[in-house]
Structure 1
Amino acid sequence: MGVRNETQVVEFVFLGFSGIPDSHIYLFLPFLAIYLVTVLGNLTICTLIQLDPSLHTPMYYFLSHLSFLDICISSVTVPKILVNFLRQRQTISYNQCMAQMFFLLSFAGSEALLLAVMAYDRYAAICKPLHYSRLMTTKVCTILALATWILGPLDSALHTVLSTTLSFCGVNQIHHILCDVTPLLNIACSDTHINKMAAQVANILGAGGPFFFIILSYCLILHSILKIRSTTGKRKAFSTCSSHLIVVIIYYGNSLINYNGSSAGGGSLETPTLACIMDLIIAPMLNPLIYSLRNKDVKGALKKVLGSQKKTACPHTIS
């Protein structure tokens, strides 16, 4: 017990922004603006889907869950970064670090599963159009959405529990801008064999599994689209998948760079820092823009809502 008390770390220091120590206060406003745009953009998507009956379909039902997950992911990371910018001290307590890691992994895992569910929805709509209403009933959609919210935290809980068993021997400098499994393993002085095995299994099942399912779904979708004779039909089928495909590429592309950068341990902090910013801060802001700018239904719903508000604000007209 005495050894444990001597080596116990009560707070961690983030080194991700150590290269620009005098510019932290100037980073506050850009990060705050990004966070506000992220929250407002995703809340707008959720609100439009709730208000417009034409958007009460499985595709937009899952999109509302994706938007809410993006709000959650951004809220787990950005507020703490903003507070540290104001304090000009890039630190986090041990308990806050474990909590941040748990919720971050939970929401990120749920998003990976949700992207796979959305790929299945697109597969059912394009490859099985006659059976779509039977395959994607309200009950099925609810079960699939609920499963993504349950399985994500289950995987995260395992990592968090294993991380609490680590000893850090007074080393508390994390080569990152937030608490994640790999950066903590890189500074731990206790045996991390079990933690690394769990991380590898989680990467294969939690990230690789949904990614493989998405690739398989789009292979089948592409096969069905190529069999469509009409050019207009092909274009319409591609358009229904394009936004989701862009989000998948951004999610897995940034996640891969973020993971590889974190695994590198020491050395240059630029790659993991930039990758993390793109993955967990910029991407949640871009998702509602991708879906709204490339989706006629969402733009139409926004116009209807704005039009109804204008009529409410100006109920009397001069004839």
Structure 2
Amino acid sequence: MMIDFLKMHGLGNDFVIVDGRTQPIRFSAAQARAISDRRKGIGYDQLIVIEPPVDPAADIFMRILNPDGSEAGACGNATRCVASLVAGDLGRDHLTIQTISGLLACSIRADGLVTVDMGPARLDWQAIPLAHASDTAHVDLAEGPLADPVCVNMGNPHAVFFVDDAEAVDLPRFGPLLETHPIFPNRANIEVAHVTGPAAVRMRVWERGAGITQACGSGACAVGVAAIRRGLVQGRRVTVTLDGGDLIIEWLENGHVLMTGPVARSFRGTLGPELLGVPA
């Protein structure tokens, strides 16, 4: 079997995207891991399958697989990439993408930037979810120099730690420890951040199931919401700087979070039996 793919990225957060709208495509965890290998496979932060929508209000369904083969509920940068791709196919500048976490309204701006309504920021401890009741603005959790996170669910769970200098944090060491902490029954994405201006934040991310990535759209949304909840920035619009560049995050009064940023196409290719024929 041969499967065509497109490689895209949003601020360096990169994706292998396959189109399963006309023919069903399913990847095993072993196949996902083989394709994700940056030396022996293609390499990606997430593997994306575009499928027919289940909800009639959506234009397509987007399935998101992590490099370890697990399925993710949200990926903001991938949503922007897929929105740009499918909008071009449909000849429209607005569309709705369905994920396992819900419906995401997307719009393509005249300057090529893509805005995604990531839905409401869920802040209740059960929605994160956490293992026990907690004030999600100040969670009793610490590991090394990281403590007192803000927890937010943006379709997937996030824990945001504010520090003096995000660059100085040993994220490869503390990221996996916090991702798998017992307080997170579904594991969590871990962000470290510091404020750089009245409406600006610098962040780095350890993604659940993927490790350190150049950018994480849902993570940037979580950081923006967390900074606003803590009163660390002015207003409800924040520029979040990631390793790969900037995203504009706006937390609306109705609770929804808008994320705006660029997308780029890298190359096309074909997945062959060398990667698809791996043992399960």
TM over 0.5: no
Q: Which has the higher strand share?
A: 2
Please indicate the TM-score interval, normalised by the length of the shorter structure: under 0.3
TM norm structure 2: 0.27
